[in-house]
Structure 1
Amino acid sequence: MTWGFVGLGQMGLPMARRLAGVTDVVAYDRKGRDVQGLNTADTPEGLANCDVLLTCLPDGKVVESMLFGDARLAEALPVGATVIDTSTTSHGTALRLGKRLSELGIGFLDAPISGMQKRAEDGTLTMMVGGDPEMLGRHQDMLGSMASKILHVGPVGAGQLAKLVNQLLFDINMAALAEILPISAKLGLDPDQVAEIVNSGTGRSYASEFFVPNILRGVFDKGYPMQAAYKDLIAGAEVTAENAFPAPVLAAATATYQQALAEGLGAEDKGAMIKVFERMIGAEFRSRT
């Protein structure tokens, strides 16, 4: 069985390399990045006739473009093939992809992932899968080379909803840290001590554990760029608006995110949201050692 892999970015490249360790993989990257250790195709046509096509792309528009736009990958796949999309898109996009692929006789699993680049390299990602459980079962062993936790969460689209819940909580946590930590510095507390208290106390979260040590050192390039990650907040706004769900905390976190983007911080990671409040109150949360 041959797997096609589309998208060799920050997450996709280590995932493709792990997958290539357990099965035949032909990889394609639209940016033409030079990679070693992988069998690569120069054009999308090189992925034709793959039994399984796995995509790891920036957003839903790119996924749809690769499958049904100029690349027309979906039409090149044989009837009975499976597309597994590990990109972060949206519930609506997943439903649309599933329907269009089904009309071509191709199976579909929406399988977004959670975890930073290090976990992609270690093969310890969490994968939330929506779609036919029997289809997942046929490919679970191979997916296990990339993800140590694979959860079937419901029909097509459920994977994206589950991922969205996790991402929105992550964003809210970082927005809260961005607002509160500069206050501690402004009032004279030692940032190193505050960081130690937070990350060993009840204020601890994955966001604090990952971002706070970097913030102390003034490092803001270790996570996913805010501009690219903003799609999660757009998806959250769509879901809450369509269902008339009140989400005041999410709205406040979104406003912080938007302020950071308006100040030109989109190329930096989410930790850079702290710069918004540091500027506003005139205090930086940085190590004094």
Structure 2
Amino acid sequence: MSGAIHWGFVGLGQMGLPMARRMAKQVNLTALDRKGGQIDGLNTVSEFSAFADCGAVICCLPNGKVVESVLFGEGGLAGHLSAGAIVIDTSTTSHASTVRVGERLAKLGIGFLDSPVSGMQKRAEDGTLTMMVGGDQALLEKHRHTLETMASKILHVGPVGAGQLAKLFNQLLFDINIAALAEILPIAPKLGLDPEQVTEIVNSGTGRSYASEFFAPNILQGTFDKGYPMEAAYKDLIAGAELTAQNGFPAPVLAAATATYQQALAQGHGNKDKGAMILVFEELLGTRFRAKDHKDG
């Protein structure tokens, strides 16, 4: 195990747990779980006081509100870190929230890298995430080797907040792609085309995207639990609406995709992944985009 720095990790969810497990193979790592004990072979602690000698801490949390609560709430993590430590936040938050976090940590003498990741759970398990980093590039370079246990592509994109902006643009394009699939694919069976053939055509043709490659095969099987739940990911569309409205940027395609997303949430599909947006249009058209051998449960 290499590296003299004692690392901490907070947030052992769908993405965080595989990220922490990969890190633990290379560095001295303390991970937090409120129950403590072992999680999938990873030893954890239940109190932030165990992070007192950590020189660097990774956060991988659901949203900016949780990040700020974890760091600055009563008995929060920041109060247990020494000046000169660094927090590297891989959570998906908002630009405003991450700038605020950076400023508050700076007043405590604690460094901060705004470092959201992209790639979904499988790439977290493989260590092939893309990490978009905002903050002091010298700090990034100091810790790049350790971050490479989780991410195969690490890009410095500007000051604190730039990482969240870069991640947001990627997520909004992803959401638009999925909403387009949801709208167009159900038309195929409605007009008599074979969904399996259409999927093959799209995923080998110019209509191909990461969204189609990931979601279309799952949709064929009626599987909607392979990605991040829509109700948790909706924060990206809120952030996109705020950003475009505040700056006066026209975004009609984003607005249309957001409406599809909102319809899926309103119909009670928030616990499903984004591929479930197709259920809105399947219901509207009275059809199903499914494989021949699939039977709805």
Range into which the TM-score falls when normalised by the shorter chain: over 0.9
1:217 and 2:221 equivalent? yes
1:40 and 2:48 equivalent? no
* TM-aligned CA deviation for residue 116 of structure 1: 1.2
TM-score using structure 2 length? 0.95
Q: Which is worse superposed, 43-52 or 118-127?
A: 43-52
Aligned 8 A contact 1:65 1:71 in 2: no
1:176 and 2:180 equivalent? yes
1:20 and 2:21 equivalent? no
Q: Which amino acid aligns with 1:230?
A: Y
Structure 1, residues 12-55: CA drift from partner, whole Å, max 9, x if none?
Answer: 00000101111000000347685032231122222223100110
TM-score using structure 1 length? 0.98
* TM-aligned CA deviation for residue 70 of structure 1: 2.4
Aligned counterpart in structure 1 of residue 211 of structure 2, from 204, 207, 211:
207
Q: Which amino acid aligns with 2:98?
A: A
* Aligned residue in 2 for 1:226: 230
Paired with 2:234 and 2:33, the residues of 1 have a C-alpha distance of: 23
CA RMSD of aligned residues (A): 1.1
Q: Which is worse superposed, 38-47 or 27-36?
A: 27-36
SS in 1 for 2:40: coil
Aligned counterpart in structure 2 of residue 151 of structure 1, from 155, 167, 171:
155
- Check 1:226–1:33 CA distance in 2 against 1; reply closer, same or farther (3 A cut): farther
Q: Which amino acid aligns with 2:240?
A: G
1:100 and 2:104 equivalent? yes
* TM-aligned CA deviation for residue 273 of structure 1: 0.3
Aligned 8 A contact 2:38 2:44 in 1: no
1:253 and 2:253 equivalent? no
Aligned 8 A contact 2:157 2:163 in 1: yes
Aligned length in residues: 289
Q: Which amino acid aligns with 1:260?
A: A
Unaligned runs of at least 5 residues, structure 1:
none
Paired with 1:45 and 1:239, the residues of 2 have a C-alpha distance of: 37
Aligned 8 A contact 1:2 1:25 in 2: yes
Q: Which amino acid aligns with 2:76?
A: R
Unaligned runs of at least 5 residues, structure 2:
none
* Aligned residue in 2 for 1:119: 123
Structure 1, residues 217-258: CA drift from partner, whole Å, max 9, x if none?
Answer: 000000000000001001101110110100000000000000
Structure 1, residues 150-190: CA drift from partner, whole Å, max 9, x if none?
Answer: 00000000000000000000000000000000011100000
